Amino acid sequence: MITEDYVSFETAKLMKEKGFNENTDKQFDSDKIVGDYNITDRSRNPERYLDAPTLQMAMKWLREEKHIFIELLVDTMIKGAFTWRLFEYPSLEIMPYDGWEHTYEEACEAAIKYCLENLI
């Protein structure tokens, strides 16, 4: 069964600090993802609930709102090694990047977090 992958709680907090203000299907309650989006609970206690964007939603937000395109790459010489490249969008000028991860999802999370901490 294919499931959605969400950014970490720490990354979701960074996204909110950097201007992410989209409704999501899931939300964090403290540091764990809870059931379906519940606008009533969130409006009663906004400090407790935080939107939980998927990795894809975060990448799209970076591309459309912050003009940063993330390209994920696999190293064919090292099994299970993923990295990323960052481009200024839409010019596609290469930006600095760093890091290797063990899974595609870890590389995606690392690239998003890198952008939030270093480029925005």
Across the chain, mean pLDDT equals 82
Q: What is the percent of the chain with per-residue pLDDT over 90, rounded to a whole number?
A: 36
Decide if pLDDT at 62 tops 70: yes
Look at the block and give the residue holding tokens 């764990």: 32
In a domain, 38, yes or no: yes
CA angle 104, 83, 8 (to 5 degrees): 50
In a domain, 51, yes or no: yes
Number of domains, the chain? 1
Does residue 60 sit in helix, strand or coil?
helix
Q: CB 39: neighbour CB atoms within 10 A? A: 10
pTM of this prediction? 0.82
For residue 105, give the CATH number of its domain: 3.30.160
- The pLDDT value recorded for residue 28 is 85
| Confidence label for 91 from pLDDT (cuts 50, 70 and 90) | confident
In a domain, 2, yes or no: no
In a domain, 18, yes or no: yes
In a domain, 15, yes or no: yes
In a domain, 99, yes or no: yes
| Owning domain of residue 91 | 9-118
- The pLDDT value recorded for residue 96 is 66
